[in-house]
A and B are shown apart, each in its own frame.
Chain A
Amino acid sequence: MKNQDSNIEFAADLGQAQVRLSPELVRIAQKRACGVHMLRDEVARLMVESLILEMDPELEVLLDESASMSQSDNLAAALGVSDIVINGHRLDVRALAEDGTVSINRALIGSQYLSLGTIVVSLASLSEGKVVAFLGAGLWMKAEETEKAKPNQAEARLHLSVDCRSDFDFAATLKNFLAKPVVKLPSTSRLQDVKGDVDLLLNNPEKLISARRKQIFSYLCSNWNEDTLSLVESIKLAHSLSSLDMMLRDAARWNNIVEKLTDKLAAQFDKVSRAEIRKQVLACGEAYGAQFRSPAFSKMLLTNLVAGQAAGKKSKLFAALVEKIMAGAGSLEAVRELVLNKTAVELAHQIKCERNLKKFSGFVAVSAEEIGMAFQKLALQPAYATHSSGDSGVESINEALTLLEIGEMAEALASIDMVSLG
């Protein structure tokens, strides 16, 4: 008798132990998994669970999900715990790697957790697989003993090559194992500071010697219940692979922003070196976060770069000018509002236009001919020049000219912000 809407499809009979998982389950596993090892083991475990669920109910093979240690995200992420509990028997489940080996964290070997052994699943893809072997606990212990003699025993995981049989009968093997009594292994009965020790095991295992790691894990195994679970889960995993993953992804994104922004700005600010622009972008990020579209970020970046471009001609009016332009004012409008001598602004504007026509750029002091030409264009009498005292008239024109130049640059930069740098 089969449930009407079974989500498990079988390619072959149970003896062949081939199983296909629903994509939703794979996605949940993928979202949970923090590292590549863990994802494959996680999927392998789900496959074994599905197989067991599909067995004849009369066999009375019951999964006890509330007793499994793999429900703890911390243990799964830090130590790669991946187990199922069937009728009170705890079994480890591992995915077979491409090179025909399975690997396990050394801390798990020799504990109650591995007292029965490991079910090995060969994955065709993340949603399809087949149980291919069963490794007894003794094999792991033996492998660890042999490895001890080798020099690279510092590695946290122990690899074991598996002898796979294509005719492996999962149902029969499982029945065999369930008939065996559960052997109670000697285990640590007490820990001085449970939370502190487990914290060390999860976050800084390299600070503990191998035997101590085993001791702490073995304590967790023999005292596994809801309280222990909540204790383990209450510990913050400081440097998990998932947070490192997120960090590296952010690093790539931030670097991408920096590079693209630097490229675009380098074209605008020819007097500022690329390295300097880069430095400014990095500094703005440290002050306002990575959102280059935020007004505060672009204002700070703009002000600093404009100051760099105008090297040596720094004016008190820069900040005010940049602010006006960021608020949406045109460069001429903004300069008009800031410089008291309105005629000087008009003259400067004319000179600027003329220079633009001649493709002449940079801050060059205004010449007498240019002023004369601008007067002519504006059809003004040169009374202004004659009646103003000393050089102040020319100075005002030069100042307005500088501001206009900067204003134009600022305008160009403000438009960069709308371009998606994705």
Chain B
Amino acid sequence: MLSSRTELAEILGLAPDWKPVLDSLTDGVSKNLDKGAVTPYAFFEKLGARSIYLKCLSLGKERELLVRILRDSYYQPMLARMLSSNQSLKRFWAQRKHPADFQKSQAVSMAVELAAKMEGVLKRHLDGGSEDGFKVLLPAYVQRSVHNAAVDYIKEEWQWEKETLQDLNLDPEQEDPRQSTADDIKYAPENQAISREQVSQLNQLRAELKEMLDAGTTEAQREPLVVVDLIFGLALTEKSKSGQELTMREVCEVLSIAGETQARKIARCQVLLDKGLDMIRNRVRSKLPGVAQCWQSDININTASRRELSHQLGLTEGEVDRLIAARQYYSLEELVERGALKANRLDELRENGAVASFVPVDINVCTTRDMIDILGLPKELAQKITSLRPFASFEEMEQRGLLDKSGLGSLIERGGAVRAVDKAGEGRLDINSAAGETLKALGLKQADCEKILRGRPFTTWGELEEYLTPDAATWQVVRQKTRLSLFPY
């Protein structure tokens, strides 16, 4: 590889008339010693897009060499900088918990790829001799390309996730794709387990909320809380039904919130919701001191991968082995009782965000990897079960000679389940997995279908409504004919 010095010399070899510019740069640097030597990038920046482009045009055979230098020393560093600070990409990666080094290397490889594309575009302009081809060299142009590349990358990855998550026959050595999907996926109702500490807090919270509602003497004091109650389906007041989350639009109807237009009503409802949430937040702050810790801890030792256990929770290899062998736990203390961990390590584990909540593992849909790591089945047996499922009951598994009575007992003890099909909403279409055509057949507009496909998965109706902003008729179809199911199953 060429050093910066020879590269600069090479540039000057191609364009000797640029020497005064380089000299002025070098002078500036020598006065400011701590800033280091002049880089080809700084040199190109100083020259400006127009003069670089004109020079390229004027060169004959050597043009290719200058374009190559431009790709490696102008485009590439600029793209790498822009891509690594691109907020859309950063958020996409952060939501998938990718480590910083992965993000950096990904940005660099995208920069290399994009630099080659930019080189191609520049060449096309040069070959065509177009006058305004210099624009391709402008940072603002590069910036736009970065934005487009980032959005394309996100779209592709999103698609990949949707396709790959259906793969259930993973080898234990393979990387689990569910570890590299957005954070909120694990908050899908079915995948989320509430630990015993959280339940204690929730029991207290309910009492607090009830007290707040009872204390509110005027309608103005109660209304924000009633809105929160309806939105989350807490069933604290008469109009709210347990387990039924309402959207803003529905809340406006239920409470007959006044307003000239639907949008105004929703805006008013939003203000009430904000106020209610603030009231609850202040109450939680003062009355439930342990809450913050409970809801910040988010690595369930019963389902975490080996990588999460060792990297994020800081467990040693031996501890991880012992922990996995004795799954599942109802509390972190059980780790010590069952000899997986020494008592003095418990606090550290808690600080790192560990939590223990039992999670049922449905034999009919879980991954082979989960059977091995959570249910403790031998690899061969797990693979055999995967190939023979679905099963109607545990008895069927016994009859087929997959497990004996004691094996079955330990499987159930460790969280194995053969789940009956959820009858409620069985006839409805699952919006998180239905094909575009089927959605369209329900009577949804093409644009809405596309938008749903691009934005899924959704975890709540509110989230879907907010994203889709449908008209009343569309929303009625969505609520009546579809359901929001668990993801990724």
Contacts and interface: CB of A to CB of B under 8 A. Distances in A.
Contact of B454 (A24, A66, A259): A24
Interface string A1-20: 10101110000000000000
A98 B144 CA distance: 32
B451 interface: yes
Contacts of A288: 196, 330, 358
Given A65-B86, A289-B199, A248 B232 contact: yes
Interface stretch (A49-57, A139-147, A178-186, A330-338): A49-57
Contacts of A327: 409
A97 B266 CA distance: 11
A251 B422 CA distance: 22
B189 A248 contact: no
B316 interface: no
Given A3-B144, A97-B267, A291 B360 contact: yes
A235 interface: no
B296 A243 contact: yes
Nearest to B423: A420
Contact of B189 (A253, A255, A418): A253
Interface stretch (B8-16, B278-286, B307-315): B278-286
Interface in A274-304: 282, 285-291, 293-297
Interface string B434-476: 0000000000000000110011000010010011010000000
Nearest to B414: A295
B202 A294 contact: no
A422 to B, nearest CB: 6
Nearest to B359: A291
A341 interface: no
Contact of B193 (A3, A204, A291): A291
B72 interface: no
A296 B266 CA distance: 45
Question: What class of interface size applies to chain B in its complex with A?
Answer: 35 or more
A411 to B, nearest CB: 15
A241 B132 CA distance: 50
A39 B264 contact: no
Residue picked from A23, A49, A127, A243, most chain B C-beta under 10 Å = A23
B433 interface: no
B263 interface: yes
B422 A422 contact: yes
Nearest to A420: B422
Given A31-B182, A98-B267, A285-B199, A62 B140 contact: yes
B196 A289 contact: yes
Which of B88, B195, B282, B328: most chain A CB closer than 10 A?
Answer: B88
Choose among A55, A243, A244, A327 the residue with the greatest number of B CB atoms under 10 Å from its CB: A244
B488 interface: no
Contacts of B155: 22, 24
Given A7-B147, A31-B182, A289-B196, A255 B206 contact: yes
Interface string B278-305: 0011101100000110011000000000
Contacts of A297: 358
Contacts of B412: 295
B148 A35 contact: no
A251 B330 contact: no
Nearest to A33: B466
A266 interface: no
A126 B234 contact: no
Interface in A38-95: 39, 46, 49-50, 53-66, 68, 70-71
A290 B88 CA distance: 36
Contacts of A36: 270, 273-274
Contacts of A58: 135, 138, 140
Contacts of A127: 451
Given A289-B196, A293-B417, A255 B467 contact: no
B145 interface: yes
Interface in A403-422: 418-420, 422
Nearest to A40: B270
Interface string A292-319: 0111110000000000000000000000
Contacts of B228: 248
A140 B52 CA distance: 45
Interface residues of B, dominant DSSP: helix
Interface in A239-260: 239, 241, 243-256, 259-260
Given A23-B455, A53-B147, A289-B358, A248 B198 contact: no
A295 B234 CA distance: 27
A327 B408 CA distance: 9
Given A28-B95, A250-B202, A285 B234 contact: no
Nearest to A71: B87
Interface in B400-435: 405, 408-409, 412-413, 415, 417, 419-424
Contacts of A256: 233, 235, 242-243
- Most chain B CB within a 10 A radius of its CB, from A23, A125, A247, A296: A247
A342 interface: no
A28 B153 CA distance: 13
B154 interface: yes
Interface in B71-93: 81-82, 85-88, 90-92
Contact of A25 (B82, B151, B274, B394): B151
Given A57-B135, A60-B140, A24 B154 contact: yes
A106 to B, nearest CB: 15
Nearest to A418: B420
A282 B424 contact: no
Contact of B266 (A32, A39, A98): A98
A60 B138 contact: yes
Q: 3 shortest A-B CB distances, which residue pairs? A: A98-B267, A256-B243, A66-B85
15 contacts: A35-B277, A54-B144, A58-B138, A97-B267, A238-B296, A246-B187, A250-B202, A252-B233, A282-B199, A288-B330, A289-B199, A290-B199, A294-B415, A295-B413, A422-B243
Given A50-B147, A255-B242, A294-B415, 5 more contacts: A6-B148, A246-B295, A251-B202, A255-B235, A259-B243
Interface of B: 81-82, 85-88, 90-92, 95, 132, 135-136, 138-141, 143-145, 147-148, 151-152, 154-155, 158, 182-184, 187, 189, 192-196, 198-203, 205-206, 209, 228, 232-235, 242-243, 245, 263-264, 266-267, 270, 273-274, 277, 280-282, 284-285, 291-292, 295-296, 328, 330, 356-360, 394, 405, 408-409, 412-413, 415, 417, 419-424, 450-451, 454-455, 460, 463, 466-467, 469
